[in-house]
Structure 1
Amino acid sequence: MSTKAQREIAHKLKVFAHAEQNGNVVLTCRYFGISRNTFYRWKKNYKSKGEIGLVNSKPCPQNLKLRTPAEIEDKIIYLRQHYHFGQLRISWYLWRYHQIKISAAGAYHVLKRHGMNRLPQNQRKRSIPIPQRYKKQVPGHHVQVDVKFLFFKDQNGKQVKRYQYTAIDVDLKAKLAEWEAFYNYARPHAAMNGKTPYERLKEKLC
């Protein structure tokens, strides 16, 4: 018997005990927030079937025709156990490598049916690598070259295509950014009475 069924049985037995102790079904139903019809239906099922009758029955039978095939469920469970994939990644993996089309929700229901919808607490989360910019300490070792296409018209009105090349030293670009920040925010200027350009601009705006 599942834990959910045990909780349902314990709750309904608690309702019966409360009604028997107080001797008033109306007050018991009001206390637990249920109707009298529900109370008497529970009591009838308990007398006829015992504790099994207190377990909530499913609203409709399972349709096995719509259930995911067993071979696909085995693949989903294998990916979960060995690679710890989530439902979305399982859906992508099965479609890319096995041409099996299943939605992320379908994979989740399979995992939930087998009690594998949550990863264990000791399972580490996948770390996302942070991209690092390529840098060189010596200027000129790494140059970024950009090409732009420009279109002009000659004297006869004919369209002419030209190429514009721009070369930027990556190390120099980073140093210029540092110098610009120092110049505008940290370096005092004599022409501004010992204030930085940012402080002077802030005074004018305020």
Structure 2
Amino acid sequence: MKNMKGKYNGSHMTIYGSILPGTASIARSAFLTDKLTERAKYKIKILDWHKARGDNCSLTARHFGIGRMTLYRWLKRFENFGIIGLNEYSRKPNRYRQPTTSWPIAARVVELREQYPTWSKHKLAAILKREGVIVSASTA
């Protein structure tokens, strides 16, 4: 790896710089509303360094120890959504699938599985059917 001493003098870098257009005013407004996370500030620092060094993604990724694809993803989010787009977003699904098997039936299936661990799912489904509980073999 090349010596980076001449490329970056180690001087203090702000979280947002004058390299990215409009980031100073946007960042100030984001700080006032407390919408910018520490992780987003770190990403801004990296993107600022990236712009200052001539948009060399490989050099930036190597310098900060991140993947190039990660850097490309951050650049794209910054272009599309601005500085607030660098915040982490929720990955939680909008909907959860409702369970189709009720808890008493599931408890009975577990009970049978523990009682007869070597029996197949088809045999357990037949036992449940005799008890009046109709479930598929995959459930049993």
Scaled to the shorter chain, the TM-score interval is 0.3 to 0.5
- Which structure features the higher share of strand residues? 1
Name the TM-score, length of structure 1 as normaliser: 0.27
Highest Rg: 1 or 2?
Answer: 1
Considering Cα pairs closer than 8 Å and 6+ residues apart, tell me whether 1 or 2 has the greater RCO: 2
Name the TM-score, length of structure 2 as normaliser: 0.39
